[in-house]
């Protein structure tokens, strides 16, 4: 670097750092400044035994260049601890992100349940929520096509209650005994551990096509629900039917829902795949940054309540986890809200070590006889024994109830609690001279009791015939989707099935789909190099069941993501693509509008540093085109770029950035020569000779001062999330 360049650089740095404010005419972007380390920050390093030691850089050696001595207990302790830092990852749901927050109920629900945290409006119950993908390993990408786990631990005054659900309201299988088979089929194939975090492989589709009960859930997983834009923008479901019981013993069936206040939004599939490489942490970063910025994610808790006597009112069995209860039959009543307002202090201690269990209940909530739920009750404690190393995982801080615990369980590996006295049993009179019994403190009718139920049945291994209808609700899902959602669903089936090496499995899937909808099956089959869908062939497989009384299926509008409509602009990320000659006034105006709406923006250019602005100042660049690609943004703004704009568009990365955002149906705004650039890329198209009409979600402004409507129109386009109805996308080279 020349000395002049050094001087200029020093001057620029002085401009930006002096008093933390940019000089007039220059636009500052975030430039975190780390405090210089001082002695006050230093803390003496010690071993785990509390021994202070002065050198953490050199092992004990025989001479400066000699061998390391086995005697070095400080080195040995440090390396031994490191060697044991990892614990087994979860068998499923290994990849997750969590956050702390609170739940509060809107109204007293005591007519239906005696659960204290649902009866005291105004009382905040602390929660910890963990969201996860199912199939991928702990280090896999966030945006895989997959179901998302949605697990919430409520630290109630009556003990911990865990609602361990998913972002899909139904499950693949009806009986827990098939869970290990399902998971073995979807996980990477065992001979070569390929593919990671993906269901697009032979073993998964081999299994699910032979288990047609999974067809309904397949529809959800092939829909855009399986590629959420954000963990903050997805629904959650308890899946199973549970029971509520009030203080008088009145029993109801209940289904749980989480409704996000930001609406339900998805990525484009191509975008999700690219994100897996460009930013594998996309979802966890989004959750973390939103909470850190004070945009606390929020969901309302909804319930569908069915009186016990109405158990057999429906055309499907409430105990069947492959069925949902249409919201049009039993409306969702929103009874409270959960707000996540604090990021974990330590990922391992909290998000990794948190242990959920559908059997963590409180008085007023109970299970139904759903055979999938019943099997889960065994699995969750069992898995923590190996994952968290023993029976005392409830003592880990993240798992500890926030109410007193008292029992006579004792000892075991890693026990933390130091109990005193000689009595570790009950009944006893030796402890305090009074007899201790299990219900001594609570009294009759208090504490948890199972809902009494008469059982007088043969001991058999059998599936209830009331579970036999495998296709009606899959069809209901299909006919409830908007045309765009149907297109995405067909494309997802085609993508997955095209990856299979065994044509017979592709054929079996489209044969099954023929029982859902003939048009769906035909469309999916078209590019797969197989025969036409054959509904009759599907019936020949032993797992095939047909409903004894096929039901009339009507659309359920609640199943479509389309009507969730315009959402909030808050926390949306906008790229502002610049080069030398950019109009800084236009940039500042759009940045201000975005910021006021709660969105954030980044200045993107070919290289870091700064670009010259039209009036002679300069603009600091946040990120480069290559390190921060279009897929990490929700929208793009191309300001008037001045005379150098052609140079930007001669840069393949810049062209790709814009075309890719366009192809992923993101809002694009362009002003002045920026608008001309869009036209040169074919992003505006003639609707009739001589009339150029922008495509949906493209906001244009001519050269000159920005019209007053420009920023509001852009904000509105962003609020609509994506503009899926653009024409001719298949011809866009991105
Ligand atoms: Fe499960 C974890 C959700 C069926 C066995 N499950 C796990 C998690 C979620 C779910 C969200 C992650 C919790 C966390 O963040 O730590 N699982 C479900 C739902 C199901 C379901 C909604 C059906 C409706 N699961 C299911 C069955 C079995 C399991 C039928 C076994 C018989 N699930 C497990 C497990 C996991 C688990 C192996 C792995 C890690 C853990 O429990 O703590 O025990």
pLDDT at 69 over 60: yes
- Whole-number pLDDT of residue 5: 47
Strands 618-621 and 96-105: unpaired
CA–CA gap between residue 54 and residue 129 (Å, rounded): 41
- The residue-averaged pLDDT of 563-581 equals 86
Gap from CA of 134 to ligand 1 centroid (Å): 9
- Whole-number pLDDT of residue 545: 80
pLDDT at 622 over 70: yes
User: Residue 595 gets which letter from DSSP?
Assistant: H
**Active-site hit among 166, 399, 512, 580:** 166
CA–CA gap between residue 631 and residue 617 (Å, rounded): 30
- Looking at ligand 1, which atom is closest to the CA of residue 130? 15
**DSSP conformation letters of 612-678:** EBTTS-EEEE-EETTTS-GGG-SEEEE---GGGHHHHHTSHHHHHHHHHHHHTT--EEEETHHHHHH
Q: Which of 350, 376, 384 to mutate to test the pocket of ligand 1 (most atoms within 8 A of CB)?
A: 376
- Of 225, 199, 228, 101, the closest CA to residue 153 belongs to 101
Mapped onto helix, strand or coil, the DSSP state of residue 575 is strand
Cβ atoms 124, 102 nearer than 8 A: yes
- Whole-number pLDDT of residue 26: 44
Gap from CA of 380 to ligand 1 centroid (Å): 7
CA–CA gap between residue 75 and residue 270 (Å, rounded): 48
**For 248-278, how does the pLDDT look when each residue is reduced to its tens digit (9 = 90+)?**
999 999 999 999 999 999 999 999 999 999 9
Gap from CA of 164 to ligand 1 centroid (Å): 7
Ligand 1, atom 35: closest residue by C-alpha:
380
- The residue-averaged pLDDT of 89-103 equals 98
- Looking at ligand 1, which atom is closest to the CA of residue 149? 11
**For 407-417, how does the pLDDT look when each residue is reduced to its tens digit (9 = 90+)?**
899 999 999 99
Q: Is 490 exposed, middle or buried (0-12, 13-18, 19+ CB in 10 A)?
A: buried
| pTM, entire model | 0.93
Cβ atoms 376, 356 nearer than 8 A: no
pLDDT at 437 over 90: no
Q: Percentage of the chain with pLDDT > 70?
A: 90
CA–CA gap between residue 681 and residue 660 (Å, rounded): 11
- Whole-number pLDDT of residue 566: 62
- Whole-number pLDDT of residue 88: 97
pLDDT confidence bin for 682, thresholds 50/70/90? confident
- The residue-averaged pLDDT of 171-180 equals 98
- Give me the sign of the Cα torsion angle 594, 596, 601, 603: positive
CA–CA gap between residue 264 and residue 562 (Å, rounded): 9
Least confident window among 37-41, 256-260, 640-644, 707-711? 37-41
Ligand 1, atom 31: closest residue by C-alpha:
376
**For 275-304, how does the pLDDT look when each residue is reduced to its tens digit (9 = 90+)?**
999 999 999 999 999 999 999 999 999 999
- Of 161, 144, 143, 140, the closest CA to residue 152 belongs to 161
- The residue-averaged pLDDT of 16-29 equals 42
Gap from CA of 92 to ligand 1 centroid (Å): 7
pLDDT at 49 over 80: yes
- Looking at ligand 1, which atom is closest to the CA of residue 173? 30
**For 300-356, how does the pLDDT look when each residue is reduced to its tens digit (9 = 90+)?**
999 999 999 999 999 999 999 999 999 999 999 999 999 999 999 999 999 999 999
Mean pLDDT of the chain: 91
Q: Percentage of the chain with pLDDT > 90?
A: 79
Ligand 1, atom 30: closest residue by C-alpha:
176
pLDDT confidence bin for 676, thresholds 50/70/90? confident
- Whole-number pLDDT of residue 562: 87
**For 471-517, how does the pLDDT look when each residue is reduced to its tens digit (9 = 90+)?**
999 999 999 999 999 999 999 999 999 999 999 999 999 999 999 99
- Of 661, 581, 645, the closest CA to residue 615 belongs to 581
Least confident window among 30-44, 233-247, 385-399, 719-733? 30-44
- Whole-number pLDDT of residue 730: 87
Q: Which helix (H) or strand (E) holds 603?
A: strand 600-605
pLDDT at 709 over 90: yes
pLDDT at 166 over 60: yes
- Of 362, 300, 322, 393, the closest CA to residue 90 belongs to 393
Gap from CA of 670 to ligand 1 centroid (Å): 47
Tokens of residue 704, six digits: 């000159």
Ligand 1, atom 37: closest residue by C-alpha:
92
Least confident window among 133-137, 155-159, 417-421, 699-703? 699-703
pLDDT at 35 over 50: yes
- The residue-averaged pLDDT of 131-154 equals 98
- Of 473, 134, 445, 453, the closest CA to residue 322 belongs to 473
pLDDT at 28 over 50: no
Cα-based distances in Å from 611 to 518, 603, 607, 639, 661? 57, 10, 9, 13, 23
- Whole-number pLDDT of residue 615: 83
SS3 track for 444-463: CCCCCCCCCCCCCCCCCCCC
Q: Is 394 a catalytic residue?
A: no
pLDDT confidence bin for 25, thresholds 50/70/90? very low
Any residues with Cβ below 6 Å from ligand 1, and which?
90-93, 96, 130, 132, 149, 151, 164-166, 171, 176, 179, 239-240, 321, 354-356, 372, 375-376, 379-380, 383
- Looking at ligand 1, which atom is closest to the CA of residue 375? 32
Q: Which of 160, 164, 237 to mutate to test the pocket of ligand 1 (most atoms within 8 A of CB)?
A: 164
Gap from CA of 546 to ligand 1 centroid (Å): 29
Detail the DSSP E strand segments found in 246-285: 251-260
CA–CA gap between residue 412 and residue 27 (Å, rounded): 61
**For 648-672, how does the pLDDT look when each residue is reduced to its tens digit (9 = 90+)?**
888 899 999 999 999 999 999 999 8
Q: Is 246 a catalytic residue?
A: no
- The residue-averaged pLDDT of 102-118 equals 98
């Amino acid at each position: 670097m020349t000395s002049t360049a050094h001087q200029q650089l020093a001057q620029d740095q002085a401009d930006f750092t002096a008093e933390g404010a940019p000089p007039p005419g220059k636009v500052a972007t975030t430039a975190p400044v780390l405090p210089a380390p001082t002695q006050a920050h230093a803390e003496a390093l010690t071993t785990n035994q509390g021994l202070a030691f002065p050198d953490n850089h050199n092992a004990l050696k025989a001479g400066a260049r000699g061998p390391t001595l086995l005697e070095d207990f400080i080195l040995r302790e440090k390396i031994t601890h490191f060697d044991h830092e990892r614990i087994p990852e979860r068998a499923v749901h290994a990849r997750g992100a969590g956050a702390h927050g609170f739940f509060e109920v809107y109204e007293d629900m005591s007519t239906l349940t005696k659960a204290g945290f649902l009866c005291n409006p105004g009382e905040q119950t602390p929660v910890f929520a963990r969201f996860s993908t199912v199939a991928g390993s702990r280090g896999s990408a966030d945006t895989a096509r997959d179901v998302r786990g949605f697990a919430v631990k409520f630290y109630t005054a009556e003990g911990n209650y865990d609602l361990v659900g998913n972002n899909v309201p139904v499950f693949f299988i009806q009986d827990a005994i098939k869970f290990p088979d399902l998971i073995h089929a979807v996980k990477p194939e065992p001979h070569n551990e390929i593919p990671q975090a993906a269901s697009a492989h032979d073993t998964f589709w081999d299994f699910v096509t032979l288990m047609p009960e999974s067809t309904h859930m397949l529809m959800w997983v092939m829909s855009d629900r399986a590629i959420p834009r954000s963990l903050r923008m997805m629904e959650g479901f308890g899946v199973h039917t549970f029971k509520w019981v009030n203080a008088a013993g009145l029993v109801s069936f209940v289904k749980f829902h989480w409704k996000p206040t930001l609406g339900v939004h998805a990525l484009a599939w191509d975008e999700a795949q690219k994100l897996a490489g460009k930013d594998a942490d996309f979802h966890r970063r989004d959750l973390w940054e939103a909470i850190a910025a004070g945009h606390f994610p929020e969901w309302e808790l909804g319930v569908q309540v069915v009186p016990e006597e109405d158990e057999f009112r429906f055309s499907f069995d409430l105990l069947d986890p492959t069925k949902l209860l249409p919201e049009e039959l039993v409306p969702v009543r929103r009874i409270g809200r959960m707000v996540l307002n604090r990021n974990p202090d330590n990922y391992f201690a909290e998000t990794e070590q948190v242990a959920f269990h559908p059997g963590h209940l409180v008085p007023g909530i109970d299970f139904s006889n759903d055979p999938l739920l019943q099997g889960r009750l065994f699995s969750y404690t069992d898995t923590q024994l190996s994952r968290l190393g023993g029976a005392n995982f409830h003592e880990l801080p993240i798992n500890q109830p926030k109410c007193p615990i008292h029992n006579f369980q004792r000892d075991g590996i890693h026990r933390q609690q130091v109990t005193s006295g000689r009595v570790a049993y009950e009944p006893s009179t030796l402890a305090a001279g009074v007899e201790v019994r299990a219900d001594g403190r609570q009294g009759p009718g208090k504490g948890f009791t199972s809902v009494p139920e008469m059982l007088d049945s043969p001991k058999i291994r059998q599936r209830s015939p009331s579970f036999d209808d495998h296709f009606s609700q899959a069809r209901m899902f299909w006919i409830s989707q908007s045309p765009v959602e149907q297109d995405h669903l067909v494309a997802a089936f085609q993508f997955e099935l095209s990856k299979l090496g065994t044509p017979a499995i592709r054929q079996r899937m489209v044969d099954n789909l023929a029982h859902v909808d003939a048009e769906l099956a035909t469309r999916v089959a078209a590019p797969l190099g197989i025969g036409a869908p054959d509904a009759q062939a599907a019936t020949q497989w032993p797992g095939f069941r047909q409903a004894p009384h096929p039901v009339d299926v009507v659309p359920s509008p609640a199943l479509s993501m389309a009507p969730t409509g315009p959402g909030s602009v808050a926390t949306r990320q906008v790229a502002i693509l610049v080069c030398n000659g950019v109009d800084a006034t236009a940039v500042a105006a759009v940045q201000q509008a975005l910021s006021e709406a709660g969105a954030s923006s980044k200045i993107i250019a070919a290289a870091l540093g700064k670009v010259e602005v039209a009036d002679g100042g300069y603009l600091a660049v946040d990120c480069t085109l290559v390190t921060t690609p279009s897929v990490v943004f929700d929208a793009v703004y191309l300001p008037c770029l001045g005379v150098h704009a052609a140079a930007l568009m001669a840069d393949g990365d810049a062209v790709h950035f814009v075309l890719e955002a366009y192809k992923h149906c993101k809002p694009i705004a362009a002003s002045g020569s920026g608008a001309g650039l869009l036209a040169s890329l074919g992003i505006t198209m003639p609707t009739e000779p001589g009339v150029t009409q922008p495509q949906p979600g493209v906001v244009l402004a001519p050269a000159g001062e920005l019209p007053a409507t420009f920023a509001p129109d852009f904000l509105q386009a962003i609020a609509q999330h994506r503009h899926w109805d653009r024409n001719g996308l298949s011809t866009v080279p991105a």
